[in-house]
């Protein structure tokens, strides 16, 4: 009996010790996660998972492992672990939103949309579901419609570890500073990333265009993390981030300022923009040196990490109090890595604004309301992975940025370049009635940039011009015995190269040209409002052909007295002439003529194709019209006779 009792006590102690061990393992994992040490937290959670039998708690750990991988931008692993949590019926609807975010980062946008919809159904009041759907749809559109930037990986900067946040450190762009987690002298690894502590490195390009092997910047780096350098306009001052990492403690980050002296940097000084336990990082100094943007999680923000700024009255004046940039820039997510372009626009990365996945790079410009207008840089600057830390050469669309794209687990530096915009137009001149191409036609290009060029169309009636950015162009086509006509294109506001195609159909004036859609009320000569479109087109024709004079002829059908119809048609023709004069056409270029019913219409090929009961070449006399079978046919023929047309009288008007 006593032995049994002792065995039971011993077994109970084992259970207690085991439960205590399980709790300690999980507590260590939770502490690592709370301190932002996601790399270590993954292993601790996995160890705790192996030691725990409770199904619900194991499912909770699966979800937390997935979140660690997402924090580490290990999107493929995050996707797998979130899927495991869902398959284990994890009851927190957040899992579907996180799973969708991981799918986005793996460029599985259709699947991501489905998960965002599930999340929206489970949490209908949360805007993140609809925002995620919109982001996924935009991402697919951006990939199908890429910007003209050309992207290349910069192998001479990159190592096997993370390299990111480049900054130009000289006026001629031959000296570049960047952040690198490559192995240094101490070889200590960071609990948050699993990589070595980051330092600021430099590389210089020689006269042959060859970059030197990167080396640590002297006088700046410490045993902890340093990075994200930003330089004043004269490159004599540098701002950078330093983060003192202590195991299981979040000691925050601070921004330091250093001055160049004798080819090196004097002892850096901390700016004290936020308490030591909080983040003040990623400095970006404005070109005038009077505004410093930075990232912080200090109280008063909108999301996780926000972009703030401090200003000063002069280069030697003290910095003022931090000011949050507000909801135009900051979201409930993270806004990080600001950069001030020389034109004053602000670039930054965000996972809160609609994007392709992970961090996307955005451009913000001041608007008339005193806020910011924010634009996603699109593909290929952005990708489904993290994209951040952009920098430009002055006045050019060329520079560097950072990304872990290409299924990498580390960040690399990429170059970007926008080739000069190229615009071309190819066109054809055709006969408007036959549709045949017209070789030997003359085409004149007139541009708002002052350019005037003339060509003659080739054997197939074709022509071609090269165009310049930011201009409007008109192409005037002419041919002996034809009215000049035109087409136009514009390159204003276009940010990508484009080839235009135009067709100019010109009309022979060997016979009268009918004006369609000219309407009058019965037995009246006042123009109806719907006639104005056709008459405005006639004004345009006369302006394009300033050397012609024309006769405006009005015709009636055969019904009614001859005198009445002559008088009515004359007044109708005069109403057209009056309209043209009111719209700037010289009166001595215009003749009004009313022919009543004296000139019935001759059926041409076009009319014969439209109306099978009207043979080509037939004159629509009263006798012929009365011979038609139905009242509908007869009314159609009368309507064709009621017309307004013009005929070119001369081509030498001065």
Per cent of the chain over pLDDT 70 is: 92
**pLDDT top residue among 246 and 162:** 162
| Tokens 């599930």 belong to residue | 118
Domain shared by 226 and 361, yes or no? yes
Domain shared by 465 and 368, yes or no? no
| Tokens 């041409």 belong to residue | 604
* pLDDT range class, residue 240, cuts 50, 70, 90: very high
**Mean pLDDT, rounded, for 180-186:** 79
Domain shared by 164 and 114, yes or no? no
Determine the pLDDT at residue 524: 65
pLDDT tens sequence across 264-317: 899 899 998 888 778 899 999 999 999 999 999 999 999 889 999 999 999 889
Evaluate whether 443 touches 454 at the Cβ level (below 8 Å). yes
Domain shared by 241 and 101, yes or no? no
Whether the pLDDT of residue 12 is over 50: the answer is: no
**Mean pLDDT, rounded, for 111-125:** 95
Domain shared by 183 and 318, yes or no? yes
Domain shared by 135 and 162, yes or no? no
List, as own/partner pairs, every contact residues 648-652 make where C-beta atoms lie below 8 angstroms and the sequence separation is at least 24, other chains included.
Answer: 648/483, 648/509, 648/548, 648/549, 648/550, 649/548, 649/549, 649/550, 649/551, 649/591, 650/548, 650/549, 651/547, 651/548, 652/547
Domain shared by 185 and 57, yes or no? no
Ramachandran angles phi, psi of 636, nearest 5°: -60, -45
Determine the pLDDT at residue 5: 40
Average pLDDT value over all residues in the chain: 89
Judged on CB neighbours under 10 Å (0-12, 13-18, 19+), 289 is middle
Q: Which of 349, 384, 417 is the last residue of a domain?
A: 417
Domain shared by 376 and 518, yes or no? no
pLDDT tens sequence across 345-397: 999 999 999 999 999 999 999 998 889 999 999 999 999 999 999 999 998 99
Determine the pLDDT at residue 245: 67
pLDDT tens sequence across 242-252: 988 665 555 67
Q: Whose CA is closest to 81, among 68, 92, 97? A: 68
* Structural domain containing residue 289: 150-417
* pLDDT range class, residue 639, cuts 50, 70, 90: confident
pLDDT tens sequence across 642-654: 888 888 898 888 8
pLDDT tens sequence across 429-451: 999 988 999 999 999 999 999 99
Evaluate whether 216 touches 201 at the Cβ level (below 8 Å). yes
pLDDT tens sequence across 403-438: 999 866 799 999 999 998 899 999 999 999 889 999
What CATH number does residue 557 fall under?
3.30.1330.60
Domain shared by 229 and 126, yes or no? no
Whether the pLDDT of residue 474 is over 90: the answer is: yes
* pLDDT range class, residue 497, cuts 50, 70, 90: confident
Q: How far apart are CA 398 and CA 148, in angstroms?
A: 12
pLDDT tens sequence across 165-179: 999 999 999 999 999
Q: Which of 113, 144, 175 is the last residue of a domain?
A: 144
| 553 three-state secondary structure | strand
* pLDDT range class, residue 9, cuts 50, 70, 90: very low
Evaluate whether 177 touches 200 at the Cβ level (below 8 Å). yes
What CATH number does residue 499 fall under?
2.60.40.1120
Determine the pLDDT at residue 11: 38
Q: How far apart are CA 492 and CA 450, in angstroms?
A: 15
Domain shared by 460 and 541, yes or no? no
Determine the pLDDT at residue 651: 86
Q: Which of 373, 388, 417 is the last residue of a domain?
A: 417
Determine the pLDDT at residue 15: 38
* pLDDT range class, residue 224, cuts 50, 70, 90: confident
Domain count of the fold of the chain = 4
**Mean pLDDT, rounded, for 129-140:** 95
Whether the pLDDT of residue 471 is over 60: the answer is: yes
Whether the pLDDT of residue 188 is over 70: the answer is: no
Structure tokens at 54: 């409770």
pLDDT tens sequence across 47-93: 888 888 889 999 999 999 999 999 888 999 999 999 999 999 999 99
What CATH number does residue 189 fall under?
2.120.10.30
Cβ atoms within 10 A of the Cβ of 449, count? 13
Q: Whose CA is closest to 98, among 56, 125, 126? A: 126
Domain shared by 277 and 331, yes or no? yes
Domain shared by 524 and 549, yes or no? yes
Determine the pLDDT at residue 561: 84
Q: How far apart are CA 328 and CA 365, in angstroms?
A: 10
pLDDT tens sequence across 549-595: 989 888 888 888 888 888 888 888 888 888 889 999 999 999 988 88
**pLDDT top residue among 377 and 516:** 377
pLDDT tens sequence across 37-55: 888 888 889 988 888 888 9
**pLDDT top residue among 540 and 110:** 110
* pLDDT range class, residue 16, cuts 50, 70, 90: very low
């Amino acid at each position: 009996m006593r032995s049994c009792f002792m065995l039971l006590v011993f077994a109970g102690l084992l259970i207690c010790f085991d439960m205590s061990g399980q709790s300690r393992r999980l507590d260590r994992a939770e502490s690592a996660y709370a301190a932002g040490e996601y790399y270590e937290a993954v292993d601790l959670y996995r160890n705790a998972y192996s030691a725990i039998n409770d199904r619900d708690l194991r499912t909770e750990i699966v979800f937390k492992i997935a979140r660690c991988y997402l924090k580490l931008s290990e999107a493929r692993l995050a996707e797998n672990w979130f899927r495991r949590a869902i398959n284990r019926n994890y009851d927190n609807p957040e899992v579907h939103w996180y799973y969708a975010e991981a799918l986005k980062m793996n460029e599985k946008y259709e699947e991501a949309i489905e998960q965002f919809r599930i999340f929206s159904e489970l949490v209908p009041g949360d805007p993140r579901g609809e925002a995620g759907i919109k982001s996924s749809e935009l991402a697919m559109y951006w990939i199908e419609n890429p910007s003209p930037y050309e992207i290349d990986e910069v192998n001479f900067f990159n190592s096997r570890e993370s390299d990111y946040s480049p900054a130009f450190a000289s006026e001629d762009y031959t000296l570049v500073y960047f952040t690198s987690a490559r192995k240094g002298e101490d070889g200590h690894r960071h609990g948050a990333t699993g990589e070595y502590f980051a330092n600021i490195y430099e590389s210089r390009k020689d006269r042959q265009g060859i970059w030197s092997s990167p080396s640590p910047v002297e006088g700046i780096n410490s045993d902890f993390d340093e990075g994200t350098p930003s330089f004043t306009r004269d490159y004599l001052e540098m701002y950078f981030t330093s983060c003192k990492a202590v195991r299981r403690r979040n000691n925050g980050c601070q921004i330091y300022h250093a001055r160049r002296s004798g080819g090196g940097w004097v002892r850096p000084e901390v700016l004290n923009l936020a308490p030591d336990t909080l983040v003040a990082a990623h400095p970006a100094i404005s070109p005038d040196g009077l505004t410093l943007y930075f990232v912080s999680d200090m109280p008063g923000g909108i999301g996780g990490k926000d972009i703030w700024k401090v200003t000063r009255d002069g280069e030697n004046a003290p910095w003022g109090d931090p000011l949050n940039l507000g909801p135009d820039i900051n979201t409930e997510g993270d806004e990080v890595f600001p950069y001030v372009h020389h034109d004053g626009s602000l670039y930054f990365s965000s996972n809160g604004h609609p994007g392709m996945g992970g961090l996307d790079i955005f451009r913000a410009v001041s608007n008339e309301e005193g806020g910011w207008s924010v634009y996603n840089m699109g593909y290929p600057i952005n990708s489904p992975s993290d994209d951040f830390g952009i920098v430009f050469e002055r006045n050019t669309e060329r520079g560097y940025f950072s990304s872990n794209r290409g299924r990498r687990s580390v960040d690399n530096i990429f170059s970007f370049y926008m080739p000069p915009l190229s615009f071309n137009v190819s066109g054809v001149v055709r006969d408007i009635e036959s549709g045949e191409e017209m070789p030997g036609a003359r085409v004149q290009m007139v541009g708002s940039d002052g350019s005037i060029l003339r060509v003659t169309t080739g054997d197939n009636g074709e022509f071609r011009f090269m165009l310049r950015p930011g201009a409007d162009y008109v192409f005037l086509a002419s041919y002996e015995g034809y009215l000049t006509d035109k087409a136009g294109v514009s390159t204003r506001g276009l940010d990508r190269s484009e080839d235009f195609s135009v067709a100019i159909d010109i009309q022979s004036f060997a016979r009268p040209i009918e004006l369609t859609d000219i309407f009058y009320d019965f037995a009246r000569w006042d123009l109806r409002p719907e006639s104005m479109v056709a008459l405005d087109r006639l004004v345009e024709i006369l302006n394009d052909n300033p050397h012609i004079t024309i006769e405006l002829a009005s015709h009636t059908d055969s019904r009614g007295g001859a005198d009445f119809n002559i008088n009515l048609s004359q007044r109708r023709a005069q109403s057209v002439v009056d309209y043209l004069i009111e719209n700037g056409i010289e009166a001595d270029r215009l003749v009004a003529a009313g022919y009543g019913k004296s000139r019935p219409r001759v059926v041409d090929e076009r009319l014969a194709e439209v109306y099978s009961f009207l043979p080509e070449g037939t004159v629509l006399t009263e006798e012929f019209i009365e011979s038609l079978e139905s009242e509908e046919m007869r009314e159609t023929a009368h309507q064709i006779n009621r017309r307004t047309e013009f005929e070119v009288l001369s081509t030498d008007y001065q």
